[in-house]
Amino acid sequence: EAADCMLCTSITAEDMEGSLKQIEAAMCVGVDIVELRLDYLKAEELDVEGLVGACRERNLRCIATYRPEWEGGRYAGGEEERLSALVEAAKAGANYVDLEYKLGEERLLGLRSEVSQVSGCKVIVSDHNYEVTPSSSELRGLIGSMKSCGADVTKIATTATCTKDAFRMLQLAREESGEGNQTIALAMGEMGLPSRLLAPKYGAFLTFGALTAGRESAPGQPSLADMMQVYRLKSQRSDTEVFGVIGDPIKHSMSPVIHNAAFDSVGSNAVYLPFLVTDVEDFITTFKEYDLSGCSITIPHKEQVEKYCGEVDQVASKIGAINTIVSQREANGEGEATLKASNTDWVAAISAIEEGMGGPGSLKGKEVCILGSGGTARALAFGALERGAGQVTIANRTLSKAETLAKELGCLAKSLEDLEGDKSITGSVLINTTSVGMSGPNVDKAPVSAGVVARFDLVFDAIYNPLKTKLLGMAEEGGKTTVSGVEMFIGQAAEQFKQFTGAEPPLDLMREKVMERL
Ligand code: SKM
């Protein structure tokens, strides 16, 4: 069945003209309802009747919210004035008014009876926690109290400090989603993103998206365009399968763009989310408890998930790094699912490098130097040896980590300092697997100096965002052959897609979707 979770955006302009523009833009995107954030308007611009009227004229449902500073909003004036503006909004025809739970029962019941005299307007009782997500039983208690304060719709916004928090909020929405589906349960912050993107699957009353990136009215809101086009919220159902990518950081990842487009193209009832994960164990427990279907794993977690997986493919186990988990159930659907782990990085990366060197087999006998010693380094070192490379050197900031990996696979270990200083370390291929140069705070940095780059013929960067990293730029300037991480990225994602769906990956579409964004 199709979920009827409404897509909402907040109108956050400081004047009437800006508000009207935002209302028009929201309608163009296709929102179901808008929240008029009266507290964003300059005092002299506040025209409650005009704003509500503008929505009514356009047949657009609206919520009137006048959030005070004491609840995280912008309104700093007196309470009487604030509350009478909300009653005025109800009279003007707002569909909902949002009243803060912290106003207290007596005040809320009084306001509720004032509002309910105005036909059609319903009361949302809301509460915000900008620090944590309280226990589920506390949250259930809160919903109960909100209802006894006259809430037609209950709204709880908490702050997620782990993935489980986001799913607990979704669970709450589901529990309350019976008759009329009247709970908004959102976890704010980047870790709370699943609570926003899976709101339709879990039967929440509504979910918020930002009109444009940078215009969020609460921390962690995705853009409306992404919600509709990338995550396809309008076609989500209660049985939509959930996939995703875990990493820290994760904002730069193009996996959601590539996998969601691929799911869509084969008509798969599945959605793929970015999960900011710092605590792998919390994620895996959540994955199992909430029956997720599969996930990709990126930096820095590739070496930590193996112990949680029931079945690890032999090569992945030898590499010691996992980038793919698929959940598999018995045919009868009973019992705990088995997590099947594999590594789709190494073939994709080695093929991209060999392609850059002239085709299959071209790594044979070549000297390769790998920067970094995490999960991607493991995959690349294994792959290079598998394809017959001569000497493979692992160079890492912390020498001991390089030594551990080198010993396991039969390579040489160097510190980055050695590599910089010792001009006798040369070779054919230089490979970066560190996150230095990745979109984010280190985007302008390179893991080694131009002097090191000069000692190799070809440079491969496992980073794909940006397409041309600082390191690749240096290599290009030095007249070297360069291979960007994007082909590896597409290759590893295509193999994951096969495992996730059993279908052939739409390679051209996947490439097109990534290139559009890079
Ligand atoms: O191995 C891949 C992983 O599957 C996904 C990913 C990403 O989303 O950026 C990068 C690589 O680590």
439 CB within 6 A, ligand 1? no
Per the prediction, the chain carries an average pLDDT of 95
Pocket test for ligand 1, best of 296, 303, 325, 431 (most atoms within 8 A of CB): 296
Helices (H), 152-274: 163-175, 193-197, 224-225, 255-265
Residue of 230, 246, 248, 255 with the most ligand 1 atoms within 8 Å of its CB, for mutation? 255
- Identity of residue 30: G
State the burial class of residue 236 (Cβ atoms within 10 Å of its Cβ: 0-12, 13-18, 19+).
buried
In this prediction, residue 12 carries a pLDDT of: 95
Phi-psi region of 176 (alpha: psi -120 to 50; beta: other; left: phi over 0): alpha
- CA-nearest of 62, 69, 70 to 86 is 62
Q: State the amino acid at position 161 in one-letter form.
A: T
- Tell me the mean pLDDT in the region 245-265: 97
Name, in order, each residue with C-beta under 8 angstroms of 253's C-beta and a sequence gap of 6 or more: 245, 247, 274, 298, 465
Per-residue pLDDT reduced to its tens digit, 115-146? 988 878 999 999 999 999 999 999 999 999 99
Please work out whether the CB of residue 492 comes within 6 Å of at least one atom of ligand 1: yes
Cα–Cα distance between 127 and 133 in angstroms, integer? 12
245 lines ligand 1 (CB under 6 A): yes
The alpha carbon of 419 and the centre of ligand 1 are apart by a number of angstroms equal to 27
Catalytic hit among 98, 127, 128, 301: 128
Taking only the tens place, the pLDDT of each residue in 59-69 is 999 999 999 99
Structure tokens at 394: 């692992």
302 in catalytic set: yes
Q: Is 298 in the pocket of ligand 1 (CB under 6 A)?
A: yes
Round to whole Å and give the CA distance between 69 and 71: 5
151 close to 111: Cβ distance less than 8 angstroms: no
The alpha carbon of 270 and the centre of ligand 1 are apart by a number of angstroms equal to 19
Quote the CA–CA distance of 166 and 186 in Å, as a whole number: 7
CA of 301 to the centre of ligand 1 (A): 11
Banded pLDDT at 387 (limits 50, 70, 90): very high
**Set 164, 301, 302, 366: catalytic member:** 302
Taking the CA of residue 299 as reference, the ligand 1 atom at the shortest distance is 12
Per-residue pLDDT, 180:
61
Residues 261-292: pLDDT tens digits?
A: 999 999 999 999 999 999 999 999 999 999 99
Could you report the per-residue pLDDT of 74-87, keeping only the tens digit for each? Answer: 999 999 999 999 99
Please report, for residues 63, 72, 74, 80, 281, the alpha-carbon distance to residue 77 in angstroms, rounded to integers and kept in the order given: 21, 14, 9, 9, 46
Tell me which residue of 141, 186, 120, 125 sits closest to 159, measured CA to CA. 186
Task: Kindly provide the residue ranges of all beta strands, DSSP E only, lying in 229-388, ordered along the sequence.
Answer: 241-247, 270-276, 294-297, 311-312, 324-328, 338-342, 368-371
Q: How close is the Cα of 255 to the center of ligand 1, in Å? A: 7
Question: pLDDT, tens digit, for every residue of 191-220?
Answer: 999 999 999 999 999 999 999 877 788 888
Catalytic member of 39, 155, 201, 301: 155
CA of 117 to the centre of ligand 1 (A): 55
Question: CA-CA distances (angstroms) from residue 141 to 112, 146, 158, 191, 410?
Answer: 20, 9, 15, 24, 59
Phi and psi at 274, nearest 5°, equal -85, 130
User: Residue 2's pLDDT is what?
Assistant: 41
Ligand 1 close to Cβ of residue 323 (< 6 A): yes
Ligand 1 centre distance from Cα of residue 259 (Å)? 11
ipTM of the complex: 0.96
Q: In a mutational test of the pocket of ligand 1, which residue from 257, 297, 497 has the highest number of ligand atoms less than 8 Å from its CB?
A: 297
Q: Which residues of 155-170 are buried (b: 16+ CB within 10 A; e: fewer)?
A: bbbbbbbbbbbbbbbb
Is any ligand 1 atom within 6 A of the Cβ of residue 343?
no
pLDDT value, residue 1: 41
Distance (Å, rounded) from C-alpha 199 to C-alpha 221?
Answer: 13
The values of phi and psi at residue 482, to 5°, are -120, 145
- Give, in order, the Cα–Cα distances in Å from 328 to each of 197, 294, 310, 488: 24, 9, 10, 26
Measured from the Cβ of residue 278, the count of other Cβ atoms closer than 10 Å reads 14
The pLDDT, as a whole number, for residue 181 is 62
Residues paired with 155 in a beta bridge:
126, 184
pLDDT per residue over 314-372, tens digit each?
A: 999 999 999 999 999 877 777 888 999 999 999 999 999 999 999 999 999 999 999 99
Ligand 1 centroid vs 326 CA: distance in angstroms?
15
How far is 265 from 111, CA to CA, in rounded Å? Answer: 50
Q: Which atom of ligand 1 lies nearest, measured to the CA of 274?
A: 8
